[in-house]
């Protein structure tokens, strides 16, 4: 019989989660806290979360994002893991969608992610290591009526992660995309019972997911076990997108 070796304790890391003070982001924050990591959030409203450095920046504001990272690095140390999770929807049918409805969603979800990745990668490149996880959506690759803006912003994250992988893969940096399906959050709770039933019938798992189920996959992508996973899209959707 072979003896099981105790797992070596891992060094705490500095983890930044955008949109980390509620919903899926908060579940991700709690997962990293449970791992013993140092965690900071960046939101528009800096809602305090126990044990977390809460900073405030709008994803559309480059200077504010840069300042938030500077504060985080000063207080918690160089950023090891970035989880770009902040995102919005402004659903509208294509024919009625205004430029502003399109641009604001792309500016927050896509350009906001770019702004954070660019800032976080500075230190990662210098230290030759880092993990970038972007939260997309099943809608990014599956499409969604009334979501031309949102879907475009979320599918573009795949190209971004793959380009980062090609650019920075040789420096110990990975970039991956997590594509959640229907998650039990206030957003999905607002759907009427009939709509929920309809959606659940289309999901092979027959249910919506808990935010913690997304957090577990994010945590895996940030772990040593995922050191050779990069440029991947990992769906967490109960089979809805069939792996895309
Ligand atoms: P919530 O609406 O509950 O939370 C969004 C978070 O993002 C908030 O903390 C919010 O902060 C922050 N945020 C939004 N806009 C900005 C901005 N301009 N600048 C800074 N922070 C911002 O979202 P969910 O938890 O439901 O979703 C999280 C992510 O997961 C999103 O990217 C979403 O697209 C994606 N997703 C969600 C699904 C779901 O079923 N809920 C399914 C698939 C993907 P503040 O309140 O301060 O504005």
In this prediction, residue 5 carries a pLDDT of 55
> Is residue 107 domain-resident?
yes
User: In this structure, what DSSP letter does residue 191 have?
Assistant: S
24 lines ligand 1 (CB under 6 A): yes
Phi and psi torsions of 116, nearest 5°: -70, -40
176 close to 232: Cβ distance less than 8 angstroms: yes
Residue 70, domain extent = 14-236
Instruction: Report helix angle 148-168 to 99-106, nearest 10.
Output: 30
What ipTM, to 2 d.p.? 0.99
150 lines ligand 1 (CB under 6 A): no
User: How much of the chain is in helix, strand and coil states, percent to nearest 5?
Assistant: 50, 15, 35
Mean pLDDT for back-to-back runs of 10 residues, the chain (244 residues): 55 97 97 98 94 98 98 98 98 98 98 99 98 98 96 98 98 98 88 90 97 98 98 98 94
> Is residue 211 domain-resident?
yes
Give the domain CATH number at 73: 3.40.50.720
Structure tokens at 76: 């918690």
Q: Within 13 A of 176's CA, how many CA atoms are on the CB side?
A: 22
In this prediction, residue 21 carries a pLDDT of 96
In this prediction, residue 8 carries a pLDDT of 55
> Is residue 202 domain-resident?
yes
Work out how many domains the chain is built from and give that number: 1
> Is residue 124 domain-resident?
yes
> Is residue 7 domain-resident?
no
Q: Calculate how far, in angstroms, residue 86's C-alpha sits from the geometric centre of ligand 1.
A: 4
Extended beta strands in 139-213, E state: 173-180
In this prediction, residue 46 carries a pLDDT of 80
pTM of the predicted protein model: 0.96
Q: Is the dihedral of CA 204, 210, 211, 215 positive or negative?
A: negative
Nearest CA to ligand 1 atom 10: 19
> Is residue 172 domain-resident?
yes
In this prediction, residue 190 carries a pLDDT of 83
From the list 77, 71, 81, the residue with the least C-alpha distance to 117 is 81
User: What's the rounded Cα separation, in Å, for the pair 188 and 197?
Assistant: 12
Q: Which atom of ligand 1 is nearest to the CA of 86?
A: 7
Burial of 38 (0-12, 13-18, 19+ CB in 10 A): buried
105 lines ligand 1 (CB under 6 A): no
Q: Calculate how far, in angstroms, residue 1's C-alpha sits from the geometric centre of ligand 1.
A: 49
113 lines ligand 1 (CB under 6 A): no
Cα first-last separation, the chain:
43
> Is residue 142 domain-resident?
yes
In this prediction, residue 116 carries a pLDDT of 99
Q: Token match 């979800």: residue?
A: 109
> Is residue 242 domain-resident?
no
In this prediction, residue 107 carries a pLDDT of 99
135 lines ligand 1 (CB under 6 A): yes
Q: Which residues of 11-23 are buried (b: 16+ CB within 10 A; e: fewer)?
A: eebbbbbbbbbbb
Q: Calculate how far, in angstroms, residue 113's C-alpha sits from the geometric centre of ligand 1.
A: 12
From the list 178, 153, 154, the residue with the least C-alpha distance to 231 is 178
Structure tokens at 114: 């770019």
- Active-site residue list: 150
């Amino acid at each position: 019989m072979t003896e099981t070796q105790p797992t070596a304790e891992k060094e705490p890391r500095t983890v930044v989660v955008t949109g980390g003070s509620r919903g899926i982001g908060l579940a991700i924050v709690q997962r990293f806290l449970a791992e013993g990591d140092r965690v900071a959030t960046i939101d528009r409203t800096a809602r305090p979360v126990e044990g977390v450095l809460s900073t405030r920046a709008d994803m559309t504001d480059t200077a504010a994002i840069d300042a938030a990272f500077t504060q985080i690095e000063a207080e918690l140390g160089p950023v090891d893991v970035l989880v770009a999770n902040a995102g919005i929807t402004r659903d509208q049918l294509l024919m009625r969608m205004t430029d502003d409805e399109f641009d604001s969603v792309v500016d927050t979800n896509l350009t906001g992610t770019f702004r954070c990745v660019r800032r976080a990668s500075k230190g990662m490149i210098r230290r030759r290591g880092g993990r970038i996880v972007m939260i997309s959506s099943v809608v990014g690759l599956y499409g969604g009526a009334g979501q031309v803006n949102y879907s475009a912003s979320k599918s573009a994250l795949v190209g971004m992660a793959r380009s980062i992988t090609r650019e920075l893969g040789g420096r110990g940096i990975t970039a991956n995309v997590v594509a959640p399906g229907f998650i039990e959050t206030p957003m999905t709770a607002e759907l009427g019972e009939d709509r929920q039933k309809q959606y659940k019938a289309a999901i092979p798992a027959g249910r919506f997911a808990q935010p913690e189920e997304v957090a577990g996959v994010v945590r895996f992508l940030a772990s040593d076990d995922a050191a050779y996973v990069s440029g991947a899209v990992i769906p967490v959707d109960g089979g809805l997108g069939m792996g895309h």
